[in-house]
A and B are shown apart, each in its own frame.
Chain A
Amino acid sequence: MSGWISNFMNHPATYLKAGWVQISVSNLIVILLMLTVFALAIFIPFPNEDSGKGKK
């Protein structure tokens, strides 16, 4: 694969380090995205939730 995205992705990653904890920016982004999706799954209401389709 060629192109600027491939060139960008195949460069050495940036790592964040605090003591013995170390994480790549890429992994951090993926983890934050996963947490965001989890939060959205909790807070976004179900579609048609209050449309009265439910019946007793």
Chain B
Amino acid sequence: MSKNLSPKEVFDAKPWTGKLRSYDIIKEGTIAVVVVALLVVSLSFLFGSPDEKSLTFKGWAESNSDNFYATAVQELAGTSGTATYGRPYNEGSDGLNVGPLFLQKWAGVTHRIDAANNFVIEPLMNQVQTPEVKAALTQWSQASVDARTKWATTYDDAITKAEGKLSAIPAGEYGPVPALANGLTQMAKAGSLDAALLSQGGFFQTDSTKQILFFGDGAYLDDAGTAANLQGGTWGMMNETGRYPGQAWLWLYSFWYQIPPFTNEESHPIGANADVYIMVIMGAMSLGLILIPVIPGVRSLPMRIPIHRGIWRSYYQSEGIKRRRK
């Protein structure tokens, strides 16, 4: 059998004849776990955790009423970020792609969200409304899809033209859209929209997808992210709110978002699909890390940068083992 072994395998198979020392891995592991656990518990008691005030629809509607109103109109018009997101929420777009590969399409629609109905119409219908909003809901539900789209997109365009200034919007054929958006704004100001959006499922409410997506369509969440230095373009992936340290180990993932072409969302194909391109780059780099033992040159780096010789210096000194030089 030994006939088939390479010289290295023969060398590796020889019994160890060097120095021996006793080593208790269970003892060392136990000490490490206890020390780390004590550190975690004491630091938790000392520092606690980030205590950022919750973002609510009430807070949004009260602090930036016009933006909330305009976002509600976008949901009705189907022009919001959620309505045009694509999978896994809807078929609003093809989603991100790398060349011919449309990754979002692979997953399909697994969490269907109809922005107009889920974010505006259903919450309004589930609450007691003023006669004006009731009439608007009836008009909306009895209208054809084309009529609804025309009203909402015309009004959405008018708001965009007025740069979000509601008082500057000229009169027009907007149907029930202004009344619906106003009804939702009043509902949000009263604090009832938060609960209405959450109570769309079972007994225990743990799925906040709809609230987060609705928040993401307006300026409220975006502004809060900017204020807390959490935007992707400012290394936000690494940060935490307040003075707490964040995810420093995500520096490399975050790095790509700071350099062109990933910084320009308008540039095609890479900037517009930055998330997926960066995911592919990081995937390739992670694969490279896993494959270090088989990559020529990289796998022999410890011979060129012998940090292990520093750690085990007494062994190398006592055994008189010199660095191999080529």
Measured between alpha carbons, how far is A24 from B307 in the docked complex, in Å? 30
Within 8 A of B (CB), among A1-56: 1, 5-6, 8-15, 20-27, 29-31, 34, 41-43, 45-46, 49-50, 53-56
- Report which of B48, B51, B227, B243 forms a contact with A26, defined as CB distance below 8 A: B243
Measured between alpha carbons, how far is A53 from B19 in the docked complex, in Å? 10
- Given A23-B235, A55-B20, A56-B20, A9:B47 Cβ within 8 A: yes
Within 8 A of A (CB), among B48-78: 48-52
- A1 in contact with B245 (CB, 8 Å): no
Is there a chain A Cβ closer than 8 Å to B199's Cβ? Answer: no
**B interface size (C-beta, 8 A):** 33
List residues of chain B with CB within 8 A of the CB of A50. Answer: 314
List residues of chain B with CB within 8 A of the CB of A8. Answer: 243
- A5 in contact with B311 (CB, 8 Å): no
- Given A20-B258, A20-B259, A42-B311, A53:B22 Cβ within 8 A: yes
Measured between alpha carbons, how far is A10 from B244 in the docked complex, in Å? 8
Is there a chain A Cβ closer than 8 Å to B186's Cβ? Answer: no
- B245 in contact with A26 (CB, 8 Å): yes
Is there a chain A Cβ closer than 8 Å to B234's Cβ? Answer: yes
Is there a chain A Cβ closer than 8 Å to B84's Cβ? Answer: no
Measured between alpha carbons, how far is A46 from B49 in the docked complex, in Å? 35
- Report which of A9, A25, A27 forms a contact with B238, defined as CB distance below 8 A: A27
Contact with A along B252-270 (1 / 0, CB 8 A): 0000001100000000000
List residues of chain B with CB within 8 A of the CB of A22. Answer: 229, 234-235
Q: With both chains docked as a complex, state the minimum distance between the C-beta of A51 and any C-beta of chain B, in angstroms.
A: 10
Measured between alpha carbons, how far is A20 from B18 in the docked complex, in Å? 53
- A10 in contact with B51 (CB, 8 Å): yes
Q: With both chains docked as a complex, state the minimum distance between the C-beta of A22 and any C-beta of chain B, in angstroms.
A: 5
Measured between alpha carbons, how far is A14 from B239 in the docked complex, in Å? 11
- B235 in contact with A12 (CB, 8 Å): no
- A54 in contact with B229 (CB, 8 Å): no
Q: Which residue of B is nearest A56, CB measured?
A: B19
Q: With both chains docked as a complex, state the minimum distance between the C-beta of A19 and any C-beta of chain B, in angstroms.
A: 9
- B242 in contact with A12 (CB, 8 Å): yes
Contact with A along B238-250 (1 / 0, CB 8 A): 1111111110100
Q: Which residue of A is nearest B227, CB measured?
A: A12
20 additional contacts, CB 8 Å, given A5-B48, A9-B242?
A1-B51, A6-B47, A6-B48, A6-B51, A8-B243, A9-B243, A10-B50, A10-B51, A10-B242, A11-B242, A11-B243, A13-B242, A13-B244, A21-B235, A23-B238, A24-B243, A29-B245, A41-B311, A46-B314, A53-B22
Chain A interface (Cβ < 8 Å from any Cβ of B): 1, 5-6, 8-15, 20-27, 29-31, 34, 41-43, 45-46, 49-50, 53-56
- Lowest 3 CB-CB distances: which A-B pairs, in order? A1-B48, A26-B245, A10-B242
List 23 contacting pairs A-B, 8 Å CB cutoff, sorted by A. A1-B51, A5-B47, A5-B48, A8-B243, A9-B50, A10-B51, A11-B243, A21-B235, A22-B234, A23-B238, A24-B239, A26-B243, A27-B238, A27-B245, A29-B245, A30-B245, A30-B248, A43-B310, A49-B314, A50-B314, A54-B19, A55-B20, A56-B20
